[in-house]
Copies of this chain bind each other. A is one copy, B any other.
Amino acid sequence: MAENKTNLQIDSARLWRDIHETAKFGATPKGGVRRLTLGPEDKEVRDWFRVACEAAGCSVHVDALGTMFAIRPGRDMSRQPVALGSHLDTQPTGGKYDGVLGTLAALEVVRTLNDSGIETDAPLCVINWTNEEGSRFAPATMASAAYVGEYTADNILARRDANGVSVAEALQTIGYNGEEPVGQRRFSAFVELHIEQGPILEAEHKTIGVVEAGQGIMWYDGAITGMAGHAGTTPMPLRRDALVALSEVVLAVERLALAHSPNAVGTVGENVIANPSRNVIPGDLTFTMEFRSASAATLDALDAELREAIAEISKRRKVTIDLDRIFRKEPPRFDPKLVDAVETASNALGYPSRRMISGATHDACNLSDVIPTTMIFVPCKDGISHNEAEDATQSDCTAGANVLLHTVLSLAGVAKG
């Protein structure tokens, strides 16, 4: 039995088939998936998932925010389950792997254990979190955020989409308004397999990312007020050009993030010039920017350095630069024992791996506040996600699922028959 466990592998073909079978729920012509949370396609994939979990011997429970918990019993039902999973909703023009891989790989772990007749000491719980993406309802990762107490369920149920439909109404429409109170069900651990959504593993030819932490985030709204003017008649030295000032801000954000690289990233994602014209000097504009880092001290430093840079630009350019930090989330830390467990499993399976941080936010980042948590990453093509071109290989997805399997086995314990 011990030998069997070490050599145990998930059924690669079955996992790959499931990924492509569920991709038909919301399939786009370009090969992506459009499966907005709690919409008709989300109901389809949820129904498929419920049937599959029940067929694998699990009992499926749904909480008040529609999150699905599929319990595979363990030998010792007094132990808190080891949880594994991710999400099945996608971006409006999303791909086939983001969230889907981690959820279906969790189901595949259960099926593999069933096939091999392996019972774990602790129960397992395969989870499909509601609305990780945040495309239809804000905020992203709303169900796991409510699970850890960041919001009340009522607060989330009242959120409305662009058409005025509330989360409560959407849940009712598709029949996933569960009765279980949010946050009631407890777990001993949570492990989430996910595509990296970045280019590092692919660039370094690593198969497994052992995720130690997530990044903290600071979001800013900015506005620059200079002086609009005739592009032909205003001498260069007398200009107060808002776009020239923004250009220096954009390059300052890059310079500061690079100075803390690889421990920080910074991005100006949006800018809108007010009343733009090809022969008018931009006088007013708005922009958004963000910094991310896995270190709270680095976030503090970036904030201070940015404000210093902006004060200098503002003074020299004679423009007003307003910068409003609208959001800050502290960096989530994953559980060192769980991180070690992932690395051990990856090494035992012979996969090349590297420790890394998660650049993106995930449900795991919320859960790490209250439950020992970690994540497993596998490469995705060119680092692309949130895009119909999102791609990953069967071999890498299989490797990730195998690491998930052995990590979960080490955490749940295998019954000594």
Contacts and interface: CB of A to CB of B under 8 A. Distances in A.
A4 interface: no
A282 interface: yes
Nearest to A276: B270
B235 A243 contact: no
A265 interface: yes
Contacts of A235: 198-200, 261-262, 265
A235 to B, nearest CB: 6
A271 B271 contact: yes
Query: Looking at chain A's contact residues, is the secondary structure mostly helix, strand, loop, or mixed?
Result: mixed
> Quick one: which of A238, A243, A277, A359 has the most chain B CB within 10 A?
A243
A234 B278 contact: no
Nearest to A260: B236
Contact of A270 (B215, B262, B278, B288): B278
A280 interface: yes
Nearest to A268: B243
A53 interface: no
Contact of A244 (B244, B251, B277, B358): B251
A249 to B, nearest CB: 8
B217 A236 contact: no
A247 interface: yes
Contacts of A387: 228
Contact of A230 (B219, B268, B281, B383): B383
A306 to B, nearest CB: 15
A200 B266 CA distance: 40
Interface string A233-259: 111111001011011101100100110
Number of contact residues on A: which range applies?
35 or more
For the complex formed by this chain, how many copies does it contain in all?
Answer: 2
Contacts of A278: 219, 269-270, 288-290
A360 interface: yes
A232 interface: yes
A279 interface: yes
Interface in A301-351: none
A230 B384 CA distance: 8
Contacts of A290: 231, 278-279
B359 A232 contact: yes
Nearest to A380: B233
A113 interface: no
A382 to B, nearest CB: 8
Contacts of A360: 230, 232-233
Given A229-B384, A230-B197, A360-B230, A257 B236 contact: yes
A273 B270 CA distance: 7
Interface of A: 196-200, 203, 215, 217, 219, 228-238, 241, 243-244, 246-248, 250-251, 254, 257-258, 261-262, 264-271, 273, 276-282, 288-290, 292, 358-361, 383-387
9 contacts: A230-B359, A231-B269, A236-B258, A236-B262, A237-B258, A246-B247, A247-B247, A269-B273, A269-B276
Given A244-B254, A247-B247, 5 more contacts: A196-B233, A199-B235, A241-B254, A269-B278, A269-B281
